[in-house]
Amino acid sequence: MYQNGVPQAPVKERNTIGIIALVCAILGVIFSCIPGFLILGWILLPISFILGLVGLFPKDKKKGTAIAAVITSIVGAVVAAVAFMFVIDSAFNDAFNEETTVSNNGGANAVGDGDSAEGNSEDSADGAADGATRENPLPIGATVSTDEWDVTVNSVDLNATDAVTAENPVNDAPADGQTYVMANVTAKYKGDDPQGSMPTIGFAFVTPEGNTINSYDSIVIAPDYFDQSTTLYKDAEETGNFAFLVDEATAADSVLAVSPDMFAQNRFVAVK
């Protein structure tokens, strides 16, 4: 092409494919960050990448939008991966970290002799322990609940060595400085599954140092042990004992970690 006898570079035409690719890339990034629209974003991003590459080939077309589409789609893929991990993490927490509630958190030991039930209710309303942390445990007698289960810690025996060792010959006597602690628990099934459900509650002893001790850490059969293999139907209950082999010196300063079912949050209950 000539202008006033001087050769001019040909004017490149608008790159329609590049523009479409860039629009797809931008929409892909946006949708990949919105829960519920992630799949649409994953579809648009590879489309924009391919269209961007195609838009680079025509010699008489502008390349800017095509280059921008390729770069945006690559960056968008990284953003989509991060957003996906965030959504998965949130879904995992929702599914496997079920929220728990507390009732009777005034506890059987929270009210002195002569206190009325009304006074106990006031104590619960005015900042009674919620058991969310080890530093603020629930009292013995509190009930920890999910939609399907109520779990109540009925009592804790901090010196249950004689009762445990006498229960079964396989129960070894504790070593020097150790003792058996036994907690009595009731689990009530509130669900409506016609096939029933087993009480897969989480129940552990947590030391002041933050170490977790499970009842199965030592080979011991507790008297009237809590049977987690039994099937309960709506409104049925199972009551029994868990036994823990612990250090005698810190037993009274420890707490119990209680989870009403396998995927519920822990609540902490005092041992005395």
Residues 230 and 138 in one domain: yes
User: Which tens digits make up the pLDDT trace of 194-243?
Assistant: 999 999 899 999 999 999 999 888 888 899 999 989 999 999 999 999 99
Output the pLDDT for position 138. 94
Residue where one domain finishes, among candidates 61, 79, 96: 96
Q: Residue 171 — φ and ψ, nearest 5°? A: -80, 105
pTM (global) more than 0.75: no
Output the pLDDT for position 109. 41
Residue where one domain finishes, among candidates 80, 96, 112: 96
Range of the domain at 77: 2-96
Residues 109 and 228 in one domain: yes
Q: How confident is the model at residue 14 (pLDDT cuts 50, 70, 90)?
A: confident
Which of 3-7, 158-162, 165-169, 259-263 has the lowest average pLDDT?
3-7
Q: Between 93 and 262, name the one with better pLDDT.
A: 262
Residues 168 and 213 in one domain: yes
Burial tier of 141 (Cβ tally within 10 Å: 0-12, 13-18, 19+)? middle
Residues 183 and 244 in one domain: yes
Residue where one domain finishes, among candidates 96, 122, 143: 96
Q: Which residues contact 257 (CB under 8 A, 6 or more apart)?
A: 202, 203, 204, 205, 206, 212, 266, 267, 268
Residues 244 and 192 in one domain: yes
Residues 106 and 140 in one domain: yes
Residues 81 and 22 in one domain: yes
Whichever domain contains 185, its CATH number is 2.60.40.1240
User: Which tens digits make up the pLDDT trace of 113-162?
Assistant: 333 333 333 333 344 568 989 999 999 999 999 989 999 999 999 999 99
Residues 37 and 134 in one domain: no
The domain tally of the chain equals 2
Half-sphere exposure of residue 254, counting CA atoms within 13 Å on the CB side?
A: 25
- Specify the DSSP element, H or E, that contains 256: strand 255-259
d(C-alpha 138, C-alpha 134), whole Å: 9
Residues 80 and 33 in one domain: yes
Residues 145 and 251 in one domain: yes
Residues 88 and 159 in one domain: no
Residues 133 and 253 in one domain: yes
